[in-house]
A and B are shown apart, each in its own frame.
Chain A
Amino acid sequence: DSGVTQTPKHLITATGQRVTLRCSPRSGDLSVYWYQQSLDQGLQFLIHYYNGEERAKGNILERFSAQQFPDLHSELNLSSLELGDSALYFCASSRTGPLVNEQFFGPGTRLTVL
């Protein structure tokens, strides 16, 4: 158990809909990262939040947005969903700094868009 929790575990929805994925980082971790893993793909970095502020963006679509709340949990919002958005979405947390390397991953949310 990494200490990172994600809800829900599975989500099935229709095209055009909007969903919210939730992540609670490990106790004490200020950084939250979101990743998308599509079929046969590695993990694609989406966005990084540190202590409530957006720090970096990766390959995140404009239809996707995220935020980190004062209690440090984070939400990833996916809107106008398309079939191609079906994927595993992972969040990871870490202490942030030059000597910190590893990110700790949650179990993921499997999103299926029908």
Chain B
Amino acid sequence: DQQVKQNSPSLSVQEGRISILNCDYTNSMFDYFLWYKKYPAEGPTFLISISSIKDKNEDGRFTVFLNKSAKHLSLHIVPSQPGDSAVYFCAARTSGAGSYQLTFGKGTKLSVIP
């Protein structure tokens, strides 16, 4: 049972346009949501996060939106650059008993076309 779902395995976007990556979740106990970026042969790299009590967080070209009622979050990249081409993982955090665990989606491969 997948608690974090990224329904689009891939996305292609023209350079300079907006990239929108989507993520849905089912567990209401998640308290933070994170986006990671992964290049081939490297480990995932933290990109941006948002608390479950907020609906938007911005960091430069990256903005994450959270819609709690819909259990949906999205990552917007504006403007998209060829260096943004990577696999993006959505992750959600649960907390308890001194442990903070991340549950990951399967990822969306973003290709930014020059």
Known A-B contacts A2-B43, A102-B49; the reply to A56 vs B101 at CB < 8 A is yes
Smallest beta-carbon distance B36→chain A, Å: 8
**Contact B97–A42 (Cβ < 8 Å):** no
Interface of A is mostly: loop
B103 at the interface (CB under 8 A from A): yes
Interface of B is mostly: strand
**Contact B45–A58 (Cβ < 8 Å):** no
Of B49, B91, B95, the contact of A98 (CB 8 Å cutoff): B95
Report the contact-size class of chain B (Cβ under 8 Å from the partner).
20 to 34
**Contact B99–A107 (Cβ < 8 Å):** no
B3-24 interface code vs A (CB 8 A; 1 in, 0 out): 0101000000000000000000
Smallest beta-carbon distance A48→chain B, Å: 5
Q: How far is the CA of A108 from the CA of B106 in the complex (A)?
A: 17
**Contact A40–B43 (Cβ < 8 Å):** no
Q: How far is the CA of A79 from the CA of B36 in the complex (A)?
A: 30
Q: How far is the CA of A107 from the CA of B41 in the complex (A)?
A: 7
Known A-B contacts A101-B32, A107-B42; the reply to A40 vs B101 at CB < 8 A is no
A98: nearest chain-B partner, CB-CB: B95
**Contact A42–B99 (Cβ < 8 Å):** no
A77 at the interface (CB under 8 A from B): no
Known A-B contacts A43-B89, A103-B46, A107-B43; the reply to A56 vs B103 at CB < 8 A is no
Contact residues, A45-63 vs B (CB, 8 A): 45, 48, 50, 55-56, 58
The 7 closest A-B pairs by CB, nearest first: A105-B43, A56-B99, A102-B46, A42-B104, A55-B99, A42-B106, A43-B104
Could you tell me which B residues sit within 8 Å of A by CB distance?
4, 6, 32, 34, 36, 41-46, 49, 89, 91, 93, 95, 97-107
Could you tell me which A residues sit within 8 Å of B by CB distance?
2, 4, 33, 35, 40-45, 48, 50, 55-56, 58, 90, 92, 94, 96, 98, 100-108
Chain A to chain B contacts (Cβ below 8 Å), 19 pairs: A4-B43, A33-B102, A42-B4, A42-B107, A43-B102, A44-B104, A45-B101, A50-B98, A50-B99, A55-B98, A55-B99, A56-B99, A58-B101, A96-B100, A98-B100, A100-B100, A102-B49, A105-B36, A108-B43
